Structure 1
Amino acid sequence: MHTSSESELSDEMALNNKSKKPNSPSNLYFFTTLFFIVLFTIPVFFLLHTPTTTSICTTFTSHTSHQSKTWSGDLTSAEFSWNKLQFSQQKKPLSPLKIAVFTRKWPIATTPGGMERHAYTLHTALAQRGHKVHIFTSPQDEKTSETQQGYYPFIHFHQGEFGKWRYNKALEQYEEENKKEPFDVIHSESVALPHYVARNLTNLAVSWHGIALESLQSGIFQDLARRSDEPISPLFNKSLQGVVPKVLNEIRFFRSYAHHVAISDSCGEMLRDFYQIPSKRVHVIVNGVDEDEFREDVELGREFRTKIGIPRNASLVLGVAGRLVKDKGHPLLHEAYSRLITKHPNVYLIVAGSGPWGSRYKDLGNQVLVLGSMSPSMLRAFYNAIDIFVNPTLRPQGLDLTLMEAMMSGKPLLASRFPSIKGTLLVDDEYGFMFSPNVESLLEALEEVVKDGPARLAQRGKACREYAASMFTAKKMALAYERLFLCIKDHTFCIYP
């Protein structure tokens, strides 16, 4: 559900490499590429194949829970998610802030992407707490762009082509507003502000929703998911040749940003270990979702099932949501589910989202309902209508909002065994199931889900809701970001509790 972080990064790389001439392929280049693939992928495979048992998960959960309850000190030294900590929930903040936010898009549309939804949820919550939040973003349409609000968050649509981001135009608006009253902190959603601008801003924090290393790993897993009779895509080799220089460029320019927010524990480790960002400049704050929007509503789920035509004798209802593209793992789910229903014809699959795999799902028969893109309000009904949420992503560092929305709605997860998901969401076996990113492993996990049945899955869902409510609410996320922004403004706020 994220907006394309890869396109943002490619835009940034284009700026970095504009004057360079492309090199012709060579054996040396091939072996260099192969070296980096091995270097960056071995740790991932190790994590993927690490056995996960209930005792290990329980020990990890109890340890981190105990650690967060007893931890104190400088927040910039904390290498675990700030979501685990308790911050002041007073209606008014400890100190009101003036916050500048640079984001390529703001969710005016009814079906916004994940990054847009994150920006909207976070900064709306901060504005409601009394902070002066100014959003600098691309123009949407004539009617929207010309609208001036008298409340926060205040949206500044820069001039230009609708939907096209121009950071220099946004900077002009920022500088004009900064003259009236200086901003306390600046927040960039990924590379909304390029590094050569960010390096001069000591009060800037950047939230990373995707990195080039993830693209490299994702490409590897996509090719591993390819059927034996399916030829290698010509674009695959081309993409491998291009992504390694992007990773190297990122390692070099990421250090230009004063503060980094990682949206998962594993991404925080990646920034510290591979990207060589000093630990005190990396802060893990997991995304949160609107707790009022996503909640348990059994009756709403029943109504939705009836509305879309799920029969009452359905033995189980699976759900998947997001962009229906290859890197989200839809080739795996399509193949595994097509095999599953030969043995379990009453297991239904609801698909929420749009993309090239939508038509392919429709070809599987009446047990699959492809509903297209949904607004957040429609998604609430979708989550309540399913028994378990499936996320077969092939992006190892990603942490889709849909996973947290499903948990907040009281649904267990069936998700790829990646460090980001295993270390942040599925930290206890009670919360669901994991599988290695291949058809056989997914099919085996689906059989376990069928064996569990709706009643047992509902029990798991209640545990998911309880955990999510303690970690992934919009309020929890907003309070963590608020404390970070206060810490950036004045170091005395960095001391916890």
Structure 2
Amino acid sequence: MSYNIAMVSDFFFPQPGGIESHIYQLSTKLIDRGYKVIIITHAYKGRTGVRYLTNGLKVYHVPFFVIYRESTMPTVFSFFPIFRNIVIREQIQIVHGHASLSCFCQEAILHARTMGLRTVFTDHSLFGFADAASILTNKLLKFTLSDVDHVICVSHTCKENTVLRASLDPLMVSVIPNAVVAENFRPLSSTPRSNDRLVGPQESRPSPTAIGPNDIITIVVISRLFYNKGTDLLIAAIPRILASHPNVRFIIAGSGPKAIDLEQMLERNVLQDRVEMLGSVRHEEVRDVMVRGHIYLHPSLTEAFGTVIVEAASCGLYVVCTQVGGIPEVLPAHMTAFAKPEEDDLVLATGRAIAALRSNKVKTERFHDQVKMMYSWTDVARRTERVYKGISGDISPEEFYGYYPGQGWEGDRVRSFALIDRLKRYYGCGVWAGKLFCLSVVIDFLLYVFLEMWFPRANIDIARSWPKKIREVRQNDDNVHPRKSDRERLAST
């Protein structure tokens, strides 16, 4: 059976990032498998209204006030009228929200359940339990996930974190990792692509041959320059690494509030000639930056998965990363050097990686083929498709949840749309919060009734689906990637 699916999140192109890439790649693969997929996100600068991307992927850029890091202002109800209009126009059956900090995602799941639609939520991040921001976020997440049909997490660590934060039944949470289009992240030793672009001088690119004791080793960092991405740790470690290894250079790509701190550190230590700052780079340029290096340094303080380290390994880089969150699950030990999220240990781990490359102990030329075998967006789409079938009843609950007689099956895992049943679930969210949540659901339901009466469905035109020819999708066919014109459209439509 084919479904009409709406992916909803505040985070999408032209903003670069792992969530944005995940939504795009998953959507295109689902379209290849015969599903209709649209994306609902907020308007970006110069991009409002409806846009079409590769393979007929339709994107709705809804004008909304953005308050922080591309997150929209939470309003709970004001998004409902236009969301309802889009859902009816596109005949949506499943609403799939992404990211805990996306207000569009949280509100869309609430409105979708009020409209009688099946819902899925994908969590891409880890959150704590002690600080005020995490407590508030966790309470809001519990509100949203109390009535969701299924939850997807990108790692097992992320699943444990989400289950604890939202008090979920673990059987209602699946683990489906991110992936990478390996053809887009080839090392230099592979057959060159016709659309390869050079970033920086040709002589700065590493040779596929063995690294000599006096050869320059380039360390690449591509990250948003925020506190949680370990920028402070990076600022402290760079001078010590460069002091210990005179034949080492850094290339840093990314932007954020910590960029000024990084630049000040370079000026204090007079390291401008050994550290190249590229600023923000588009996703299609990431590979061309990575292949200029030998080591990829990832000093993140918290990470649910870390797609960028998979991309780095696919480009043939040895990865030095902090042992936090879901990162230890991502790559095998021979591709990585782990460090504690501390300055001293990060410096030592980087030194070990440099020594391993100089002694030719690490065979990075094999990384690309190994990553290609491990991660496939086609596999991610197929596993996500199984979730859609499970919540829609196209496969039995016993098969979907792994229930067998005698294991204590609970029928409440199949979420009822009845208002009284929904209120029961929300009421258990807390002594005071539960009552507030119930009030919000009742108001949402009354608003829905009002919209149905005053703006009937018969007055909303049904959008025509993009004409497409469904091709056979091979299990390991993960070589489809945006054409050059599509990449340009993603960045500057």
1:442 aligned residue:
346
Measure, in 1, the Cα distance between the counterparts of 2:365 and 2:28.
28
What amino acid does structure 1 have at the position aligned with 2:152? V
Question: Match for 2:106: what amino acid?
Answer: L
- 1:221-270, Cα deviation, whole Å (9 max, x unpaired): xxxxxxxxxxxxxxxxxxx3454354355445532322111111111122
| 2:183 alignment partner, SS class | coil
Which residue does the alignment assign to 1:421?
A: 327
Q: Secondary structure at the match of 1:456?
A: coil
| CA spacing shift, 1:169–1:450, aligned 2, 3 Å | same
- Check 1:490–1:157 CA distance in 2 against 1; reply closer, same or farther (3 A cut): same
**Residue 130 and residue 362 in structure 1: after superposition, are their counterparts in 2 closer, same or farther (change >3 A)?**
farther
Question: 1:455 Cα deviation (Å)?
Answer: 6.8
> What is the Cα deviation at residue 370 of structure 1?
1.0
State how many pairs are aligned.
Answer: 373
* 2:360 partner SS: helix
**Cα distance in 2 for residues equivalent to 1:147 and 1:305:** 33
- Provide the secondary structure at the position in 1 that maps to 2:186: coil
Distance 1:181 1:134 in 2: 8
Q: Which residue of 2 aligns with 1:405?
A: 311
- 2 CA distance for matches of 1:434 and 1:193? 35
Q: Which amino acid aligns with 1:281?
A: M
**Other-structure match for 1:477:** 380
Q: Secondary structure at the match of 1:135?
A: strand
Task: Please state whether the residue corresponding to 1:134 is helix, strand or coil.
Answer: strand
Distance 2:53 2:222 in 1: 33
Counterpart residue type for residue 430 of structure 1:
H
Tell whether 2:106 aligns with 1:197. Answer: no
CA drift at 1:398: 2.7
Matches within 5 A, 1:38-437: 95-107=1-13, 109=14, 112-141=16-45, 145=49, 147=51, 152-160=56-64, 165=72, 171-179=80-88, 182-190=91-99, 191=102, 192-194=105-107, 196-197=110-111, 200=114, 203-213=118-128, 240-251=131-142, 253-273=144-164, 275-298=166-189, 304=199, 306-307=201-202, 314-355=215-256, 356-357=258-259, 358-360=262-264, 362-363=266-267, 364=269, 365=271, 366-395=273-302, 397-422=303-328, 424-426=329-331, 428-437=332-341
Structure 1 residue 321, shift from structure 2 partner: 0.6
State the one-letter code of the partner of 1:420. Answer: G
CA drift at 1:175:
2.8
Unaligned runs of 5+ in 1: 1-94, 217-239
Given that 2:206 and 2:292 are in contact with CA atoms closer than 8 Å, whether structure 1 keeps it comes out as no
- The separation in 2 between residues aligned to 1:158 and 1:138, in whole angstroms, is 5
Contact 1:137 1:170 in 2 (8 A): no
| Bigger fraction of residues in helix | 1
Q: Is the 1:264–1:286 Cα contact (8 Å) retained in structure 2?
A: yes
Contact preservation (8 Å) 1:158, 1:169: no
Q: Is the 8 A contact 1:260 1:281 kept in 2?
A: yes
TM-fit CA distance, 1:376: 1.8
Distance in 2 between residues matched to 1:210 and 1:174, nearest whole Å = 25
2 CA distance for matches of 1:292 and 1:171? 40
Q: In the TM superposition, what is the alpha-carbon distance from 1:150 to its structure 2 partner?
A: 11
Supply the distance in 1 between the matched residues of 2:39 and 2:363 (Cα, whole angstroms). 41
Give the TM-score, by structure 1 length: 0.66
Query: Unaligned 5+ residue runs, structure 2?
Result: 208-213, 403-493
Query: TM-score, normalization: structure 2?
Result: 0.67
Partner of 2:454: none
How far 1:168 moved relative to its partner? 5.3
Distance 1:143 1:116, change over 3 A: closer
In structure 2, the CA distance between the partners of 1:196 and 1:183, relative to structure 1 (3 Å rule), is closer
Q: Determine which structure has greater relative contact order: mean sequence separation of CA pairs < 8 Å that are 6+ residues apart, divided by chain length.
A: 1
Cα deviation digits, residues 195-230 of structure 1 (max 9, x gap) = 64355456100111225427x5xxxxxxxxxxxxxx
Is the Cα contact below 8 Å between 1:100 and 1:174 reproduced in 2?
no
Displacement of 1:405 after TM fit?
Answer: 1.2
Residue 205 of structure 1 aligns to a residue whose secondary structure is strand
Change (3 A) 1:362 1:210: same
Instruction: Map Cα deviations across residues 4-54 of structure 1 (whole Å, 9 max, x no partner).
Output: xxxxxxxxxxxxxxxxxxxxxxxxxxxxxxxxxxxxxxxxxxxxxxxxxxx
Give the Cα–Cα distance (whole angstroms) in 2 for the partners of residues 272 and 296 of structure 1.
38
Kept after mapping to 2: 8 A contact 1:261/1:284:
yes
Equivalence for 1:56: none
Letter in 1 for 2:229: K
* SS of alignment partner, residue 351 of structure 2: helix
Q: Take 1:206 and 1:317, find their aligned partners in 2: how far apart are those partners?
A: 39
SS in 1 for 2:56: coil
Give yes or no for contact 2:217–2:354 (8 Å, CA) kept in 1: yes
In the alignment, what sits opposite 2:411?
none
CA distance in 2, matches of 1:164, 1:450: 39
- Deviation (angstroms), 1:286: 0.8
1:490 aligns with 2:404: no
Identity of aligned residues (%): 20
